[in-house]
Structure 1
Amino acid sequence: MDLLMKGGSIIGTGVAGLLAILEFTRGKRPDKIETKPDGTTVVVHNNIEVRIDSRMLDLLQDVATREAVEKFAQKSLSIPDVARVVISDGDADGVELGKVDQAALMMPALEDDETLTETSQREVWLRIVVSAFRDGYKWRLSDGGEKPFTATMEDTDFVNSVMDGKVSLSANDTSKCLIREDQKLGPSGLSKDVTVLRVIEHIPGAKQMKLI
């Protein structure tokens, strides 16, 4: 006997989609999560990528939602004579879950030595506080906040332009950059690494004050 359920919409994402991504990861934590500027998130598991709505990521990380999914799996898949459960969002193809999929819907436990990583990319205006051209040294940048931060510069074309004298840097320069932020949560706490992937636009600072 099969059990067919119609899943409604949760914050713009389907229940079937939520269960599908859990089935994809088999209940394990993804190897990598990367948030894109277009509102989607790439989830990497076992070297396979899938793209989901970023709001789906909020559901995957929401404890109450995961507890509800776990409770649903325990109840629906334990019904006698039910071989599988099919969840469908409207006219979309449904997700089929069998008893072997129950473990994939359980909440994973956080190991003491486990490190969680979330990666995102965005475009931002930055002011160069300190530039560094030696390998292993980081640049010191400011986004207008209270404190400057360090970042790894990976735009070799921009660095070469500076080294060749094609671009001059001064204390008042501002650059529009595409950056990647890698946020990590581990036993030692929360940390963040910033990488400048590309300098999109470089605006030299004013050399003298405008009086008129």
Structure 2
Amino acid sequence: MSETTFTLTYDGPSLADHTMDVADLAPALVALSQFMKSAARLTQGDDFEVVVRAKALETGCFQIVLDVSGTFVSQVIDLMAGRTSTAIANLLGIAGGTIGLIAWIKGRHVRRLRPSRPGYTVIELEDGAEVEVPEAEARVALDPPARAALEKVVEPLEKDGIDTVAFKMPRETITVSEVDLDAFKAVVHAGDEILETTAPMVFSIVSLSFQPGNKWRLSTGKGAPISVTVADEDFIGQVQRSEVAFAKGDILICTVRTTSRDAGGKLATDYTILKVNEHRRISKPPSLLD
């Protein structure tokens, strides 16, 4: 398990004695944990678990030093040296970037999202303003559970005497003031446009189909299996030439395009495997192709 720290600081006249009402603090800390978990799920996949702990209280305004630790559930990921520490560092960078992005949007209507250079997307607002941001930050900033959690983190600013909350991340410090409260409301509109992100994912095989147009049933290790389209023609060619055989439970390490769209008022998500980077045999029962 890898870990790092960042500081959350609430400031204002009512905090001059370095104390804060637990009724305000506790929901905000729970919400911060939920926000980090949502960001981890969206950017690192369901296989990555994040824990946020309050390490210490420091004087000066009202500061909370928070420890963020994480681990990949799947043993196959744990074998990749350095991956966990990198994931935590990336997560905190994404979290900080997301907070800054939300402050920039300022509650304006998101008209559409369009793909940009690899790893980036352009957000277009209803007033014509646009910005290019990392796909991961856009994905978190437009995720309803992540936004609802972050709204509660800044909610203490509604109290008299609390003027700012600062997120001191390893790479930057983002300060939110009471005038920014409306920008952090959880209502987000992304219209009918498609948001596409590309990221590595790990699946275990549930069932396969090699008929044209049929999807594979794969598991991320949490929740029900999902249907996934395989667009890696080289890999499909290997399978059709009987160069690759599978068994239930085998592991696939892939590069995956995730597409989120508005389907009649409901969020729909499609998964497409662009590249099968590695196939690991977990056991050797009869092949699914037999």
TM-score using structure 2 length? 0.41
- Cα distance change, pair 50–97 in 1 and its aligned pair in 2 (3 A): farther
Matched with 2:4 is none
- Cα distance change, pair 44–182 in 1 and its aligned pair in 2 (3 A): same
Contact 2:101 2:141 in 1 (8 A): no
1:101-131 CA distance string (max 9 Å, x none):
6266331434596679696642122155311
Separation in 2, partners of 1:167, 1:19: 47
Contact 1:129 1:148 in 2 (8 A): no
Which residue among 150, 158, 166 is the counterpart of 2:235? 158
Matched with 2:132 is 47
Separation in 2, partners of 1:146, 1:68: 27
Separation in 2, partners of 1:43, 1:74: 36
Matched letter for residue 238 of structure 2: S
Contact 2:218 2:225 in 1 (8 A): yes
Are 2:214 and 1:138 equivalent residues in the alignment?
yes
Contact 1:59 1:65 in 2 (8 A): no
Structure 1 or 2: more helix by fraction: 2
Separation in 1, partners of 2:272, 2:67: 31
In structure 2, runs of 5+ residues without a counterpart are 1-11, 13-59, 69-91, 115-119, 124-130
- Cα distance change, pair 5–172 in 1 and its aligned pair in 2 (3 A): closer
Secondary structure of 1:167's match? Answer: coil
Q: Choose 1 or 2 for highest CA Rg.
A: 1
The structural deviation recorded for 1:20 is 3.4
Matched letter for residue 102 of structure 2: L
The structural deviation recorded for 1:154 is 1.9
Are 2:286 and 1:206 equivalent residues in the alignment?
yes
Are 2:255 and 1:176 equivalent residues in the alignment?
no
TM-score using structure 1 length? 0.51
* Aligned sequence identity (%): 14
Separation in 2, partners of 1:128, 1:178: 17
Which residue among 261, 269, 273 is the counterpart of 1:192? 269
Matched with 1:23 is 103
Contact 1:87 1:95 in 2 (8 A): yes
Matched with 2:184 is 106
Matched letter for residue 193 of structure 1: D
The structural deviation recorded for 1:50 is 7.6
User: Pairwise mapping of residues 119-130 of structure 1 onto structure 2 (< 5 A)?
Assistant: 121-130=200-209
Matched with 2:64 is 8
Matched letter for residue 286 of structure 2: A
- Which stretch shows the higher mean deviation, 23-32 or 190-199? 23-32
The structural deviation recorded for 1:179 is 5.8
Contact 2:207 2:218 in 1 (8 A): yes
How many residues are paired up? Answer: 184
The structural deviation recorded for 1:192 is 3.2
- Cα distance change, pair 44–70 in 1 and its aligned pair in 2 (3 A): farther
Secondary structure of 1:178's match? Answer: strand
The structural deviation recorded for 1:48 is 1.8
In structure 1, runs of 5+ residues without a counterpart are 33-41, 80-84, 208-212
- Cα distance change, pair 27–154 in 1 and its aligned pair in 2 (3 A): same
Separation in 2, partners of 1:68, 1:147: 30
Separation in 1, partners of 2:208, 2:170: 55
